[in-house]
Amino acid sequence: LQAQLQNTQSAVNKDLQAIKQETIQEASHAVEKTQVVQSQQQKSIQSLQLAVADVKGRRPNDWLLAEADYLVKLAGRKLFLEHDAVSATKLMESADQRIAALNDPSLVSLRQSMTNDITKLRTIPLIDRDGLVLRITSLQQQVDKLPLANAILPEAEVVEKKAVSQDINDWQSNLMTSMKDFSENFITFRSRDGEVIPLLSPEQHFYLRENIKGKLETAIRAVYKEQGEVYSAALKTANEWSKSYLNQDDNSVIEFEKAIKQLSEQNITVKYPVKLESQIQLSDVIRERLRREVTVMTSEEK
C-alpha cells in the first residue's frame, strides 16, 4: 500500500510539473504577443503624431516647402523616365521660386543646389527627335519613286588608234590600218576586265526598296531609344544600298543620299545627369522641420 501511495504521489508530481511548465510557456507566449502589440501601437502612435504635426504644425511657409518638394520630385521623373529636360528645367525653376518666396536665410544652401541643378539641365543639348523622325519618314516615302541603276559594265580598255604613215614603203601596214578602221564602223570588239553588275529582276526591285525602307525604320526607332550606334549603322547601310543599286546620275537619288548623309551626322545620344542634388537636400530639410515640430508637440503634451 505504501508503495502504491508513493507511485501515485510521484505521478501526481509529474503531472503538476508538466502543467506548471505548460502554464509558464503559455504565459511567456502571451507576454511576447503583448509586447509585439505594444510595439505596433507605439509605432502607430508615432505615425499619428507625425501626421498630426504635419497638418497641425504647418504654416503657410511649410506648404510652400511641400510644393517645392513635389515639383522637384516631378522634375526628377520627367528627367530620368522621360528624358524631358525642358519640362524638368521649368519644374525646377518653379520649385526655386517657391523656396525664394520663403525668404529663409537657412535655405541658401538648398537654393544653391537647385541653381546647380537648373544650370546642368540647361546645358543638356536639345535634340528635335520628332523633326528627325519626320525627315526620315519623308525619305521612306521617296524610296519607291527613286530610279534604279542600269546594268553596270566595267570601263573598256583604251585602245590607241594607229595612224596611217606618209611613207610609201609602209603601204602594206597602211592598207591594214585603213581596212581595220573601215571594219570598226560595223563591228567593234573591246575587252573589259572587272565585275559586271546586272539588272535586278522585278522581285529583287521590290525587296531592295523594302530593305532600304526597313533600314530607315530602324533608324526611326533608334532615334526614340537614343541608340546612336544603331542609328548610324542603319543609315550607313541604306546609303550603301542606294549607291550600289540606284541611278547615281538622277537628281532625286543624289538629293536622297545627301539627306541620308546629313542625318547620319546628327548626334542622337545625350548624357543626362544621374541625380538632382537638391532632391535629397530638400527632403532632408522637410524631415528635419517635421522632427522639430514633433519634438515641440510632445514637450507641450508633457
Q: What is the pLDDT along the chain (302 residues), one digit of tens a residue?
A: 677 777 777 777 777 787 888 888 887 887 788 888 788 877 777 776 665 555 555 556 778 888 999 999 999 999 999 889 999 999 999 999 999 998 889 899 999 999 999 999 999 998 889 999 999 999 999 999 999 886 544 454 555 566 656 666 666 676 676 666 655 555 555 554 544 444 456 677 889 999 999 999 999 999 999 999 999 999 999 999 999 889 999 999 999 999 999 999 999 988 899 899 999 999 988 888 777 665 655 555 55
Residue-level pLDDT at 132: 94
Residue type, 287: R
CB burial class (10 A; 0-12, 13-18, 19+) of residue 276?
buried
- What does the pLDDT look like over 22-49, one tens digit per residue? 888 887 887 788 888 788 877 777 776 6
Residue type, 104: D
Residue-level pLDDT at 29: 82
Residue-level pLDDT at 1: 63
Residue-level pLDDT at 192: 47
Residue-level pLDDT at 36: 80
Q: How far is CA 160 from CA 33, 41, 177, 183, in A?
A: 111, 108, 12, 16
CB burial class (10 A; 0-12, 13-18, 19+) of residue 127?
middle
- Give dist(CA 167, CA 177) in Å, integer: 14
DSSP symbols for 211-223: HHHHHHHHHHHHH
8 A C-beta contact, residue 248 and residue 153 = no
- Give dist(CA 52, CA 66) in Å, integer: 16
C-alpha cell at 137: 519618314
Residue-level pLDDT at 123: 93
- Give dist(CA 70, CA 75) in Å, integer: 9
- Give dist(CA 71, CA 88) in Å, integer: 9
C-alpha cell at 133: 523622325
